[in-house]
Structure 1
């Protein structure tokens, strides 16, 4: 599912307030993986391979 820039920005603002990606999942109905990925992409922090 594609999310609007406004929806993504709202989730990112929520995360910036100190809430977790799991909290965003419960509040906005987006997967916690998506919320975390949007934050990593915005902050320029790619996933570190194990």
Structure 2
């Protein structure tokens, strides 16, 4: 693999990680991932979309 391709992959990976970290924060606080919390959010989102 070309060195430029490897560098591009690293940059893209870092960009995706940064975006995921931003999405995982709420008012500057990191929200821990819990399955029940995630499921509640999904149900709430589905309920909001249904209305």
Which is richer in strand? 2
Question: Relative contact order (alpha carbons < 8 A, sep ≥ 6): 1 or 2 greater?
Answer: 1
Larger Rg: 2
Which is richer in helix? 2
Please, what TM-score do these two structures have when normalized by structure 1? Answer: 0.32
